[in-house]
């Protein structure tokens, strides 16, 4: 008997996932596998996936498949945060850094997973409390300036020790997974997801010191909004989930191994070179 008895689907809200869903349903029919999906997602596509609520999707799925881009993959990982259920990312977009395969490889990949021919890449998350609500991010939590309201003035404390103050467009707290996202565009280092580390990266810092800070997973980082700061948006994996004013603060803690991502032979370095077009200096070739 195979590993997979129930496949859960998480769909991008706009991209065409018909080909991918048809492939999954054909494979499932031939292997006596049930396919579940969220009503608002599978309901817009005429298919035989069983509509269920979020709790049932999470509880019953032996494998969760995210169909879309990196945003869909991040949402899938947040749904399963803290569970051992494997997650397969299928790229329907352009960058798709977190996805493992394209649609054409889907049927063979499902069979490989069913036969236990895959590996798991644990992914660390970060957590914080934002305006009374607990939030989880697999890429980053960022305090971002609001246009017209001044710079982001933020004091950074690591493991209870004051370290640096930034006046910047944003201050980003990133996971290793997020090191190829907002943190990367702000000049932060590329970090293998096997490294359980928390990065603190300023974006466009108005300071001679604009370096990233790399912390171990067992040290918390606190960001305090300074009196000189404007009001700041709190972005969690790119979505604005709150605002902070001068005097407010948030503390971010790591959550190691919060998601289990399926890998089938590709390496982080292969994906980084391909997706980020890492070529190096022309003089070196």
pLDDT digits (tens, 9 = 90+) for 74-130: 999 999 999 999 999 999 877 667 888 889 999 999 999 999 999 999 999 999 999
Q: How many other CB atoms are there within 10 angstroms of residue 206's CB atom?
A: 13
- On the CB side of 63, how many CA atoms lie within 13 Å of its CA? 27
Sign of CA dihedral 67, 70, 74, 75: negative
Tens-digit pLDDT profile for the chain (285 aa)? 688 999 999 999 888 889 999 999 999 999 999 999 999 998 887 788 999 999 999 999 999 999 998 999 999 999 999 999 999 999 987 766 788 888 999 999 999 999 999 999 999 999 999 989 999 999 999 999 999 999 999 999 999 999 999 999 999 999 999 999 999 999 999 999 999 999 999 999 998 889 999 999 999 999 999 999 999 999 999 999 999 999 999 999 999 999 999 999 878 888 888 878 787 766 666
Q: At what angle do helices 18-30 and 106-114 cross, to 10 degrees?
A: 40
> pTM for the complete prediction?
0.93
Domains defined for the chain, CATH in brackets: 6-118+264-284 (3.40.50.10330), 126-255 (2.60.200.30)
Q: Give the active site residues.
A: 70
């Amino acid at each position: 008997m195979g590993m997979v008895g129930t496949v859960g689907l998480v769909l991008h809200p706009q991209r065409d996932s018909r080909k991918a869903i048809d492939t999954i349903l054909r494979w499932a029919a031939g292997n006596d596998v049930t396919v579940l999906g969220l009503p608002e997602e599978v309901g817009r596509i005429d298919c035989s996936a069983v509509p269920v609520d979020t709790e049932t999707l999470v509880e019953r799925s032996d494998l969760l498949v995210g169909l879309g881009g990196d945003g869909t993959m991040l949402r899938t990982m947040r749904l399963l945060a803290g569970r051992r259920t494997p997650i397969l990312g299928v790229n329907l977009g352009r960058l798709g850094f977190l996805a493992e395969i394209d649609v054409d490889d889907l049927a063979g990949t499902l069979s490989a997973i069913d036969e236990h021919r895959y590996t798991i890449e644990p992914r660390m998350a970060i957590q914080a409390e934002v305006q009374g609500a607990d939030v989880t991010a697999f890429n980053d939590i960022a305090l971002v300036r609001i246009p017209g309201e001044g710079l982001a003035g933020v004091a950074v404390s690591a493991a209870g020790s004051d370290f640096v103050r930034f006046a910047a467009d944003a201050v980003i707290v990133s996971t290793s997974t997020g090191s190829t996202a907002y943190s990367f565009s702000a000049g932060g280092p590329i970090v293998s997801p096997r490294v359980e580390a928390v990065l603190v990266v300023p974006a466009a810092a108005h300071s001679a010191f604009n370096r990233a800070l790399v912390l171990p997973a067992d040290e918390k980082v606190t960001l305090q909004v300074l009196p000189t700061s404007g009001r700041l948006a709190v972005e969690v994996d790119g979505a604005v989930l709150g605002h902070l004013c001068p005097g407010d603060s948030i503390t971010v803690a790591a959550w190691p191994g919060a998601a289990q991502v399926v890998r089938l032979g590709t390496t982080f370095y292969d994906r980084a070179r391909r997706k980020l077009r890492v070529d190096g200096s022309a003089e070196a070739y």
